[in-house]
Amino acid sequence: MLEVEGIVKSFAGLMAINELSFAVHRGDLLGLIGPNGAGKSVTVNVITGFYRPNRGSVRYRREEITGLRPDLIVRKKISRTFQHSTLFFDLSVIDNISMGVRTTSEVGLMEAVFKTGSNRQKEKRIRERAEEVIALLKLERHAYEEAKRLPYGLQRVVSMGTALAGNPDLLILDEPLTGLISAEVEEVMDRINYLHTRGLTVMIIEHNMRAVMGHCNRIVVMTFGTKIAEGTPQEIRQNPEVIKSYLGVSS
């Protein structure tokens, strides 16, 4: 589904990713794991078009998307969340999620001014979709609350909702568990699992290997901008390279 091939990205001569290649297959729950500073987030930013790689290519459904504008990549149904809780804090939960809803043709200014029939229909569809996502994530009770008033864990869920509202085929979650207490970790992972079982392809970026190990079907391990291992959780656990540079240190 998504193929990353030979990506090189450096910042002012500092190599962030070096010759990184991996693939996400349809139906995967892929974990991209590595210690802080391994280049995981840079990888996500390259895939989603926020950074342009120095070399290499990203293909999505056999189509070259390297260096495409981020909003156009999103429109190809790749959604992402951000490392920190990134929301429209002053907007209500339903408005946050409505922002993620993508209509086939964007609401135009003129139809918004004159409240045309097609405009009413679009707005109604956006609202219905937002309510669907709210029900899916069990956020009904908070729909009209300002996002900044929610607890941290729920804010994470809302930002996932914004990403989901666009009906993505691939959802990239950048450290969805950071800063959560263990009960919240379970809750968020449960929701992710639920979405995965409903057929969504998910890629989780995480430095906490234990949290995601049990849930992923495939794992890619990165350190210092390169891939050191790729495989099923069992293979990763037994990989000497991973034990040496990652598991050995943190466990």
Partner 1 sequence: MNNIKTFLVLILLVLLAGLPFLIKGIAPGWWELFSHILTKIFLNVAFGLCLWMMLQAGMLSLGQGAFIAISAYMTGILSVKYQLVTNLWLCYLIGALTASVVSLLLGLITVHLRRIFFLLVTWAFAEMLHPILTSFENPFGGAAGIVNIPPPSGISLFGEPGTGYYFITLLYAVVVTLIIWSVSLSKVGLIYKSIGQNDILTTFCGIHVRRYKLQVFALGCFLTGVGGGILASYLTAVSPETFTFFASLDIIMINLIGGMGFIMGPIIGAVILTGMNEILFAVGYYKMTVYGLMIILVIRFLPGGLISILAVLRTAFRRTGGNQKKGGEVERTVA
Q: Which residues form the interface with partner 1 (CB under 8 A)?
A: 48, 50, 69-71, 74-75, 79-80, 82, 86-91, 95, 98-100, 102, 106-109, 112-115, 119, 122-123, 126, 131, 134-135, 140-141, 143-144, 162-163, 166
Cβ nearer to partner 1, comparing 19 with 123: 123
Q: Collapse the DSSP code of 167 into the 3-class scheme (helix H, G, I; strand E, B; otherwise coil) and give the result.
A: coil
Closest contact distance (angstroms) between CB of 129 and partner 1 is 12
Cβ nearer to partner 1, comparing 119 with 193: 119
Q: Is 246 left (phi over 0), alpha (psi -120 to 50) or beta?
A: alpha
Closest contact distance (angstroms) between CB of 107 and partner 1 is 4
Cβ nearer to partner 1, comparing 44 with 192: 44
Tokens representing 82 are: 């951000």
Closest contact distance (angstroms) between CB of 194 and partner 1 is 18
Q: b or e along 31-50 (b: 16 or more beta carbons within 10 Å of the residue's beta carbon)?
A: bbbbbeebbbbbbbbbbbbe
Tokens representing 175 are: 């450290």
Yes or no: say if 33 and 56 are a contact pair by the CB < 8 Å rule.
Answer: no
Closest contact distance (angstroms) between CB of 140 and partner 1 is 5
Instruction: Give 93-143 as a DSSP string.
Output: HHHHHHHH---SSPPPHHHHHHT-HHHHHHHHHHHHHHHHHHHHTT-GGGT
Closest contact distance (angstroms) between CB of 196 and partner 1 is 21
Yes or no: say if 44 and 172 are a contact pair by the CB < 8 Å rule.
Answer: yes
Cβ nearer to partner 1, comparing 39 with 161: 161
Cβ nearer to partner 1, comparing 26 with 141: 141
Q: Rounded CA gap, 17 and 8, in Å?
A: 5
Cβ nearer to partner 1, comparing 69 with 244: 69
Closest contact distance (angstroms) between CB of 97 and partner 1 is 10
Closest contact distance (angstroms) between CB of 59 and partner 1 is 20
Question: Taking Cα atoms as reference points, which of 218, 243, 238, 236 lies closest to residue 24?
Answer: 218
DSSP 154: H
Cβ nearer to partner 1, comparing 34 with 166: 166
